[in-house]
Amino acid sequence: MKEILNRQWWKEGIVYQIYPRSFQDTTGNGVGDIKGIIQRLDYIKSLGVDIIWLNPIYQSPNDDNGYDISDYRNIMAEFGTMEDFDSLLEGMKTRGLKLVMDLVVNHSSDEHYWFQESRKSRDNPYRDYYHWWPAEKGTPPKRWSYFDVDANAWKYDATTDAYYLHYFSVKQPDLNWENPKLRQEVYSLMNFWFEKGVDGFRMDVISFISKDPNFPEIPEKYNGNYVPFYAAGPRLHEFLHEMHTESLGKYDVMSVGEAPGVFLEDALNFVNEDREELNMFFHFDLMSLDRKEGEVFWMRDGNWKLSEFKKVHSNWDEVFAKKGWGSMFLSNHDFPRSNSRWGNDSAAHWYNSTTMLQTFLLSMRGTPYFYYGDEIGMTNIRFDKIEDYRDINTINRYELAKNNGESLEDFIANEKEASRDNARTPMQWDSSNHAGFTEVTPWIKVNKNYQEGITVADQEGDKDSVLSYFKRMTQLRKDHLTLVYGDYTLLQETNEQVYMYLRTWNKERYLVALNFSTKFSRIEIDEVSFEKGRLLISNDMDNAESLIPGTFLELQPYQAVIYSLE
């Protein structure tokens, strides 16, 4: 594989995302903590993953579970101390694991010192750390807010008779990147963590940081769709390049931006190496596939189609084929569980569909990101009472729906599939009380299926478990660099049941076939010529006949196979 240029650890690594609040409680307060992660490092290492991405662990009043930071250089008391953090980092380094932290700098908490000062007076030195609209100019042009009870991103503040901007909750005021002092604060805090030995950042809504400070009315071409408008700030690329110069470029670190509103056409402007901005980003084309057009939180009517799913991945693979690099994910803390969403979590199909999706992520080009619990097949909890929800997003939108006289029944029905809390339930370690996550009542309910085998303890010793398959598959990716860097060729483009593709490099060729349906499928392999097909892995060994040239490939429901072709 020496012909491959530009090999990087963050291209070859497999990422494991941890939502610290839900991973492991060691203090008996029902909330996960850093010591809990330390306790589980051997487990994490055993998965064959290389990089841990931690959701925010900084000091925060937790309006949005840590995405509202009140001190960027301190640890949230609920999670532990800086000493705990240092031990975590050391424990990871000893095991050869890299650490990626969350960087949340589109906004801070309203309890951050900067904002406390900023709101005091119009001439406070921190005034311009945030976006203010003086009331004498009238009502500011409409901006939509994700979590606001009125969906309004401007909040009036009487102290200085002005409105401040908050794309997210009222407790998450947007930072003003026009201000060079603010930008230097950000680079300095990034360097603070890099100097400690952190290996990179996942950057929260980084596509939103640049705003036209005149706040014009939103141009018509956006057709009322705020997200792409928010991502089209006039100085975005200038800021990212500056961030690279002042921070990222000085270290051997990885950067992955969360980039709602960024589409294929713009992709390389972020990650083309020559531009010195970011390494990777998360696009939202897949995440919006099962949503209503232009809607972030509402499920669409009718099912998504496999041809659409293939198209998203094929298009994004192509855009990074020569420059830049992609990121592959099916779930995270903002979306439902992957098998409940893209597979099928019914008893009959849970095993095959979970392992099929693992096979998919681990056989595509681009860095794969797994979310804690994906390795044992954790599923959506589907809360049907508003009282069970903890997420500000669901709670505030419920209020909004109520105030607008909308059907609350429809609202809950939607949240059962779409809510972020589906993915935030405690990690299922064993079948003891609260799944071994805590000894007291956890901050959010545990999924009852921890009593039905969806735990680490149940699966660890079982060679046929989802967990064991996951480990085999991570190893397989490591053993076959072609699965990381090789070309991707889509086969069977219009087949609505089976996703099939080749990964090739020089003479090496791998055929991946994934049945995304509840039905048996028989496919004629007429698009590729080969003499012999050697089976590398299958999630259904009872039905894994060798692939014979000129014959059919038969796949059971949700079966996944990878063959090496000769």
Q: Name residue 501's amino acid.
A: Y
Q: Tell me how far apart the alpha carbons of residues 207 and 185 are, in angstroms, rounded to a whole number.
A: 19
- Residue closer to ligand NOJ by CB (options 66, 343) is 66
Residues pairing with 130 in the sheet: 175
Sign of the CA dihedral with 218 first, then 219, 220, and 223 last: negative
Find residue 144's DSSP bridge partners: 152
**258: annotated active-site residue:** yes
- Answer yes or no: 554 catalytic: no
Q: Which residue's C-beta sits nearest to ligand NOJ?
A: 67
Q: Which is nearer to ligand NOJ, 207 or 517 (CB)?
A: 207
CA distance 139 to 162: 10
Nearest distance from residue 450's CB to ligand NOJ, in Å? Answer: 24
**CB closer to ligand NOJ, 52 vs 560:** 52
Beta-carbon-side half-sphere exposure of residue 86 (alpha carbons within 13 Å):
7
Residue 323 has which token pair?
């420059």
Length of the chain: 566
- Residue 130 beta carbon to ligand NOJ: minimum distance, rounded to whole angstroms: 15
In the complex with ligand NOJ, the residue whose CB is nearer, 129 or 167, is: 167
**What is the smallest separation between the CB atom of 332 and ligand NOJ, expressed in angstroms?**
7
Q: How many other CB atoms are there within 10 angstroms of residue 42's CB atom?
A: 10
Long-range contacts at 282-286 (CB < 8 A, ≥ 24 apart): 282/256, 282/257, 282/258, 282/327, 282/329, 283/259, 283/316, 284/227, 284/259, 284/260, 285/312, 285/315, 285/316, 286/312, 286/313, 286/330
Active-site entry in 25, 242, 258, 540: 258
Whether the CB-CB separation of 132 and 143 falls below 8 Å is answered with no
Residue closer to ligand NOJ (CB basis): 247 or 393: 393
CB of 75 to ligand NOJ, least distance (A): 18
Q: Which residues contact 292 (CB under 8 A, 6 or more apart)?
A: 298, 299, 300, 301
Q: Which is nearer to ligand NOJ, 104 or 253 (CB)?
A: 104
Nearer to ligand NOJ, 11 or 424 (CB): 424
Q: Cα(217)–Cα(414) distance, rounded to whole angstroms?
A: 31
Q: How far is the CB of 15 from ligand NOJ (least distance, A)?
A: 15
Query: CB 169 → ligand NOJ: shortest distance, Å?
Result: 8
CB of 337 to ligand NOJ, least distance (A): 16
CB nearer to ligand NOJ: give 199 or 258: 258
Least distance from ligand NOJ to the Cβ atom of residue 203, Å: 10
Cβ-based nearer residue to ligand NOJ, 199 or 421:
421
173 is written with which tokens? 């005021």
Rounded alpha-carbon distances, angstroms, from residue 280 to 272, 533, 539 = 9, 34, 30
176/538 with CB nearer ligand NOJ: 176
- How many angstroms separate the Cα of 263 from the Cα of each of 77, 181, 207, 218? 38, 30, 11, 19
Tell me which of 148, 174, 199, 204 is the catalytic residue.
204
Task: Report, in Å, the least distance between residue 421 CB and ligand NOJ.
Answer: 12
- Say how far apart CA 557 and CA 470 lie, in whole Å: 19
Q: What is the DSSP string of 233-270?
A: -TTHHHHHHHHHHHTGGGSS-EEEEE-TT--GGGHHHH
**Distance from C-alpha of 117 to C-alpha of 5, rounded to nearest angstrom:** 49
Rounded CA-CA distance 360/325 in Å is 17
Q: Which residues bind ligand NOJ (CB under 6 A)?
A: 64, 67, 104, 168, 204-205, 258, 333-334
Residue with tokens 């010591």: 35
| Alpha helical stretches, state H, 47-132 | 82-94, 113-118
**Cβ atoms of 14 and 475 closer than 8 Å:** no
What pairing do the DSSP bridges indicate for beta strands 508-515 and 560-565?
Answer: antiparallel
Element (H, E) at 307: helix 306-319
- Minimum Å gap between C-beta 67 and ligand NOJ is 3
Residues annotated as catalytic are 204, 258
